[in-house]
Structures are given as C-alpha cells and as structure tokens.
Structure 1
Amino acid sequence: MTFGVVYATVKVRIRYASVMDACDLTVPASRFRLWLARLFKWPTPRQRVPRLMWIKPTRTGLRLRIRMMPGQDTFDYSAAVDRLRHAFGVHQVTSREIKPGVVEIATTGYDVLKRVQMPARTERGELRIPVALCEDGSVHYRDYREVPHSVTLGAVGSGKSVTQRRVIKELAAQHVALVGIDCKSGVELSPLARRFSALADNPDDAADLLEALVARMEATYQVIRREQRISADTPDAEITANIWGLPEYLRPVPVVLTIDEIAELALFTTTAEKKRRERIIVALVRLAQLGRAAGIFLDIYGQRFGSELGDGITMLRAQLTGRMAHRVNDESSAKMAFGDVSPHAVFAATQIRNDRPGMAVVGHSNGDWTRIRAPHTSMREAVTACNRYAGLTPDIPELARFRPVLDLDPVEAPATVEPFAEAA
C-alpha cells in the first residue's frame, strides 16, 4: 500500500494506451478526422483509445474505470481480460459493467484466494452476512432478503462443511431462528445445537419438521392477511404482503433452514420410504415457492442435485436462486448448478484444484459468475459462536418438539447484541 501502489499506478498509467491498442480495445478514428487528414494530407490519425476515467488503489490491486468508445461493449473487455493480465503483469483481471458506456477493470497483484484474509470491516445487515472472499479482492455476501434460497454442491472434501459452518457462525449473532436437518446422525449440526431452534437427524423427523414449517408458513400468511386491512385511507407504507411490513411486535422471527445432504431425503428403497420422500419433496417445494414472504429461507447442501434423485427435484432446484459449486468430480454435477446460468461457470467449477478446499464458483441469475473462497472455519470456532449466542435462540411453538435436548448447563449470552456493526 506504499511503494507497490504508486509503482503499479504509474506503470498502468504510462502503458495504458499501448496496452489498449495491443489488446484490440481501440477503435478507428472518426470519419470526420479521416476526411480532414485526406483533405490536408495529414498523417493518418491513430486509433482512438478508451478514456481512462480514474484509477483507484485497493488493498489487493487497482480498479480502473474506463469509458468505452462507440461500437464497443462489455464483452470486448471480458474477452480481453487474459491479454490484459499478461500486458499489465498482474495475477488476475476481471471486468464488469458499471452503467451504459462505462466498464470497470479490477486487477489483483497476487492470488488472494491462496490464503484468505477477510477485510477488517465488512457491511453487515439484517440477514446479510459476509461469507467468502472473491478473486478480485471484494467480499461475497449472502443476502437472504435478496436471494432467499440457495443450493451448494461439491464433492467429498471440497469444503462444503467449511462454508456451512461459516454461514451458521455469522447467523448465530443475528435475530434469526436456525433450523437444521442433518441425516448423518447429526454429526455436522449437533455440535451447534445450542443455537438451533429445531434439529432433525433422520428422514422421519425431517418429514415432520418440514411439515411443521409449512404449517408455520400458513399461519404467518394468516397474520399478514389479517393485518392488511386495506381501505382508501390506509397509508401506502402500511400495506404489505410479507413479514417485513408488519409491526415489530407482530413480526415473526425469520427462519433459516439448513439441509446438510439433500440426497439423504430423496433416496428410498421401500414403499414406506417412498411415501415419506413424497412428503419431504412436496414440503420443500412449497417452502421454496412460498416461504420468502413468510420469512423462511432455505440453504441446501449436497454432492449432487439432479433428476436422478427422483420426481420433484428439478422443480425444487428451479426455485433456488443462489447457486454455488465447490470442486466437483464430473461436468454433469457442475451443470446441475450452472447449466442454466453460464457454460463458463460450469467449466470453472471443474477446474478447482484438490488443494483448495473451500474454493467455489458462485453463479447469478443474470449469467455472471465469480470464484470465491471462504476462510477456514473450524468446528470449534462455529461451536464457540453458537454457544456464545445461545441466549438468542427463539422458541417457536410449531417446532417445540424438535428443539434439541441439551444436558449441559446453559451458556449465558449477551443481553444485547449488535450484529450489524461495521467491524467484522
């Protein structure tokens, strides 16, 4: 941040025009200038270079704001990022559109995903938590109000559990009810049980738990409907179709449902297990379709999430807006996450190395994608956070019979918590 930033800024500023020309990001001179050159027999005008609006140093590199020339589009710059990387001599270059006619080039001077260090300050908010570091040095946030439901795929040892623990650790400090389904006898979520309002460790309990959540969702909609009372003199600010518009004393606590392995809920071998599976899938689809307005959000984890798991799986997957894939063993697994997002994201998910646990690819519904890596979160760190904020665990009557039974002495939690502070 001292000599390196100054040197990099001066180097980019001096070499900017030649690099743009070498990377085919210039355009021919205007017809008027060409006409003047022919009229007065002047030398042929040089190619026009996109205007560099400003250079902003960051803790990982530089950000260049560029105004594109007429006839250019953002694809020209995204296709040239590899050439720009070699021309500027940096580790990584990414591009994104800021507004029509303006593109931002982000350069990173080193591999920020090799050893993840989250910034000292992050922007927390209600149901908005920092999860990982992006390859351009920015922070990847999980915003449940913007992306209510998500699916995370990855092979064994790819780092799904690390990401899961990171999410739960960050949510523990917020006013939210955590609900878990862990059919691996609860080995992943049971240590965090102090902060969970409900927990199921087998498919039978999971079916009952999901149906209880559906009942809570229906009851919440009745509360919203009763409080609407729309009339001609009702202020616009008081008309709502979700829990966020309800008065605070009536607003139900949001619920985040974490499912550790979706395949364990979808597989069956007997007729009884098939009926149980149908109950589970129907409840999950209803929660995914209708749960957002009722404050119920889904985080689903698994190794695969394809049609081979049976009827209803693809319908459920279509409702999950957030897509994340850790290292996968085959291309078809990546297509389950990004097949309808971007073919480039599918390829990127298959290129994650074995020695990078926690590294993943995140896809967005508009076709954008980026590489991220979550900081290593041990089980001890997650357990400590859940124990610290155990006093914030809400009691939900519909889920009372699924509340984990703890034989240990209760851990005192702070009376007041500021989960949205600037400091990470």
Structure 2
Amino acid sequence: MALSQVRADAPLRVSPQPVRVAVWAVVLAWLARRLWRLLVLIARCPAALLGLSVVVVGIVAWQVLGLALLLGILGTVLLVLLGWRLRWPDGFHRGVSGPVRGWLRGGWVYRRRWTTAMDTAGLTVTRNGTTYVPPLLRARSTSSVDRVTVRMIPGQTLEDYAAVSDRLAQTFGTTDCRTRSVPSKPHLVELWLLVCDPLTALVNPFPADRAGLDAGLPVARAEDGSTWRLRIVGNHILIVGATGAGKGSVLWSIVTGLTPSIANGVVKVWAVDPKGGMELAPGRHLFDRFAHGDSTDQAGYEAGFADILEDAVGVMRSRQDRLRGITRLHTPSTDEPLIVVIVDELAALTGWVADRTAKKRIESALGLLLSQGRAVGVVVIGAVQDPRKDVLPMRDLFPTRIALRLNEAEQVALVLGPGARNRGARCDLIPDSLPGVGYVTVEGIAEPVRVRFSHITDNTITTLGQPARVPALTVVKGGAAA
C-alpha cells in the first residue's frame, strides 16, 4: 500500500481467535472501571470530596470518641451551620448550599443524560467511526440558575451552542438556557440554565450604598438572584423600551442609588424632561438643574433643553483644560462633582424637534457630550422608545445599553448588538406583566445579562433625600410630654 500510494478507507476485517477469560476476571475489571470513574467524579467535585472526608472522619471519630460525644459534635456543627444560614445567607449559599446543590444537580440532572442531550442537540461529532462528545467539566448552582461549564470540541463556536439553547433547556427540564463565554478561556462555554425565575416578583428599592460610585449602583436583581450593579463613573447609559416597559423604573433606580452622593455634593443631576416634566418632576428636589420645557418661552419650547446641554459642554471643556496631562478619568469630588445629565425621552430632542436651530444646537451638544464627556465626569443617561438611527443617530456612543420590552425582534440587534438575541436576549418576548425586566450589555462583555430593576413608587420618590421625620411631641394627661 505504501509503494502504490493507495489508501483504503474501508476497515480491514480480521477474525481473531477467541480468548477465554474467567468470569471473576471480567467482574473484577468491571468493578475496577466503576471504582475509577467514581474516584474521578469525586476528585472533580469539591463538594463530593468534602462529603467523603466528613464520612471518613465521622467513622474514625466514632471509634475513638464514642457515639455520645460524636453526636454532640454533630449537633454543634448543625447549630453553627444553622446560625450561619440565618445570619449570613449569602455566604452560606456560596460556601455550603451552592456547591452541594451543584454537585447533586450536576450528577443527577446533567451527567446522567449528558451524552444523549449532546447527540440529540447535534453537538457531537463523528469522525472515522468515533463519536466525540463535548465533556462536561463542572456544574455550579444558585437558587435559580445552574451554571454548567463545557469544553467545546475543536471546530465548535459559542454560536453552535446558542443555536440549540432551546433544545438543551427542554432536554434538562429548565425554563431557559443561555450561553456565555468564559474569560481568557476561548475553548470553554458556560451554559446558564434557568431553573426558576426570580424576576417574576417586584424588586424593592435597594438600601442606600455610599460606595456606589466606586462599586456600581445597586439598581437591579439578576436572574441568578444576585444584586446587579450599574457603573456610572466614566459611562454613558442608553435605556430603550416600549411604552409601559419600565423605563421609569430604570431612571428612578439610578437616581435612588445616587441619592447619598447627591446629598454629599459629589454628584449633581441635571434633568431634562421634554414631556413637560411629567416623569421627572416628583424628584425635582434632587436635581441641581431641571429643564422641562416652557410653552410660553419666546425662544421656543426646546430652547431650554439646548441651554442645559450646552452648559454641560461648557463644564466639559473647562475640565478638559484643567485635567489635560494630569489624569485620563475624572474622580468625583465636592469641588468637581460628577455631572449626570438625565434625558427622559431622547427622541424628543433628536428626531421630533420642529425648530431647526434648536435641533442643531441639541444634536451638536449631545454629540460632544457622548464622545468626550465621560472621561471628565459629564455622563449622559438617556431613555428612548425607538432605537432606529434616523431617530437616535448617536446610538453607538453609549457603552452601556439596557433593552427592556421591545416591539420587534429586529430592535434587539439595534440596541444590544448583532447576535444578542441568539444568545438569549429575547426582549420582544418579555410579557407586559413584567415591567422593569430587561437585558443589559456592557462594553467589553458580549453576553447580555437579564435583570429586573427595582420598583420605585411616587411616595418613595418624594421622600428621597429627605431627613427622617421626628414624631411630634404630644401631651399625655397625667404625665410629662411624650
């Protein structure tokens, strides 16, 4: 065959002589293979290794200490775990319940049917008679999401798994499945399988966090049950959603998170409400400047909007002169606070302005702020219903984008970028009964994150930043004032 340079793909049929093996040798080999697989499974799972260690230590302690003392130690351990669970539930979940749940679901739900699931989803590869199955590396669980890490077969991409996410969710009996990349590990993919949806319930406002400017404002709850934080410093934010999708929840969640910094003078909010102040007026006591339009203004209804944006550009220019060669990112302080320009309806400033002069002033100021403002501490947060380019030409200048419920599937790509819907951001399928639920993409991270923003009532807005009321003194008959 080597001389003729001919290669035959058909396998050569060989009839070997039968070899007789004792039954005990076959059974022993089968037990050895099963034992080896069990050891590998235990070694790969820290929770299983810890559980086995606890059993071994318990048996040894029983022999050395006796049953009564062992039961006392176990009772103490259980009390400590119970106190940990009640006092620090997040830490208990990370250290105990999460790993144990991940080990149990990883073995019973995923590993048990993994090969069949990969085959029926079309993720296996057969070559020269050999079938290659993507190996499942580990499974971690939260109260609502199972995070399954998989090593992709050479030649596969993240889009291959995203295309069959519905099949994987149905196979494993979960609500939804999303694919996420693993940082610095391009050969791995992480499947987020939603076991239950924690975003169906309203999210209460988060407590004031004075470190919000550094760590990000706590404004929403992610679908894995964790608190999602939004970075404000050095960031422009675009909020897109249909009527009733909850854009107000996003804006007021941000303002609520900024309240401690506003009180300290580190942040100043300049609010622009083209709808006559109907949305932002309840929080006008928090705003350093508030432009809501004036129908009696001889200069035009939109003139005030142009004035406030051009003043923001003036602040930006002066800071550029002072910070040139000193730093590349402004640090908020009481001397130079962070200027947050909030615009409730951007389309009213960019697409629906009848006055050409005002429209030109507004578009010029917005373009300058979005392209140069975030480095010097002048950031823009804008909300809009229609994300098309002819309505919002500077859409691509927002690093962080939030897409709530949208009217069309094509709008998802306009807001979050191409491929976002294939990776699970089905904004057009968010029901009307879930206002404030949406998907967020952050610059540098391709995968959208599903969150629900906190529900802020009008009463909460009017009391933001107000000191707590001291009960009035009343005269009690027969006693002192109380």
User: Residue deviations 1:128-178, cap 9 Å, x none?
Assistant: 2233334454554322346x1122122221211111111111122233221
Segment drifting more, 132-141 vs 200-209: 132-141
Q: Which has the higher helix share?
A: 2
- Which of 272, 275, 279 is the matching residue for 1:188? 279
1:287 aligns with 2:369: yes
Give the equivalent residue in structure 1 for 2:258.
Answer: 171
CA contact (8 A) 1:257 1:298 kept: yes
Taking the TM superposition and a 5 Å limit, the aligned residue runs for 1:75-90 are: 75-90=159-174
> How many residues align structurally?
354
Give the equivalent residue in structure 2 for 1:108.
Answer: 194
Which of the pair has the greater relative contact order for Cα pairs under 8 Å at 6+ separation? 1
Report how far residue 206 of structure 1 moved. 1.9
Segment drifting more, 79-88 vs 121-130: 121-130
Q: What TM-score results when the alignment is normalised by the length of structure 2?
A: 0.64
Segment drifting more, 289-298 vs 175-184: 175-184
Give the equivalent residue in structure 1 for 2:460.
Answer: 381
- Which of 139, 154, 158 is the matching residue for 1:74? 158
Report how far residue 345 of structure 1 moved. 8.1
Give the equivalent residue in structure 2 for 1:301.
Answer: 383
Segment drifting more, 175-184 vs 285-294: 175-184
Taking the TM superposition and a 5 Å limit, the aligned residue runs for 1:7-46 are: 8-11=105-108, 12-28=110-126
Secondary structure, counterpart of 1:386 in structure 2 = coil
Give the equivalent residue in structure 2 for 1:234.
Answer: none
RMSD of equivalent CA atoms: 3.4
Report how far residue 220 of structure 1 moved. 0.7
CA contact (8 A) 2:215 2:229 kept: no
CA contact (8 A) 2:179 2:190 kept: yes
Task: Work out the CA distance in 1 between the residues paired with 2:148 and 2:423.
Answer: 24
Give the equivalent residue in structure 1 for 2:11.
Answer: none
CA contact (8 A) 1:243 1:251 kept: no
Give the equivalent residue in structure 2 for 1:268.
Answer: 353
The gaps in structure 2 that reach 5 residues or longer are 1-92, 294-301, 471-482
Q: Which has the larger radius of gyration?
A: 2
CA contact (8 A) 1:82 1:93 kept: yes
User: Residue deviations 1:313-340, cap 9 Å, x none?
Assistant: 41x2231222223233456765653466
1:289–1:326 Cα change, 3 Å:
same
Q: For residue 24 of structure 1, what is the amino acid of its counterpart?
A: G
Report how far residue 221 of structure 1 moved. 1.1
CA contact (8 A) 1:166 1:382 kept: no
Give the equivalent residue in structure 1 for 2:305.
Answer: 206
1:162–1:117 Cα change, 3 Å:
closer
Secondary structure, counterpart of 1:173 in structure 2 = helix
Taking the TM superposition and a 5 Å limit, the aligned residue runs for 1:5-404 are: 8-11=105-108, 12-28=110-126, 47-98=131-182, 99-116=185-202, 124-126=212-214, 128-137=216-225, 139-145=227-233, 148-174=235-261, 175-202=266-293, 203-225=302-324, 228=325, 239-244=326-331, 252-266=336-350, 267-269=352-354, 273-309=355-391, 313-314=392-393, 316-330=394-408, 336-338=414-416, 342=420, 344=422, 348-363=426-441, 368-388=447-467
Segment drifting more, 161-170 vs 119-128: 119-128
CA contact (8 A) 1:95 1:103 kept: yes
1:321–1:388 Cα change, 3 Å:
farther
Secondary structure, counterpart of 1:243 in structure 2 = coil
Q: What TM-score results when the alignment is normalised by the length of structure 1?
A: 0.72
The gaps in structure 1 that reach 5 residues or longer are 32-43, 229-238, 390-410, 413-424
Q: % of aligned pairs identical?
A: 27
Report how far residue 72 of structure 1 moved. 2.3
Report how far residue 352 of structure 1 moved. 2.5
1:155–1:333 Cα change, 3 Å:
same
CA contact (8 A) 2:149 2:188 kept: yes
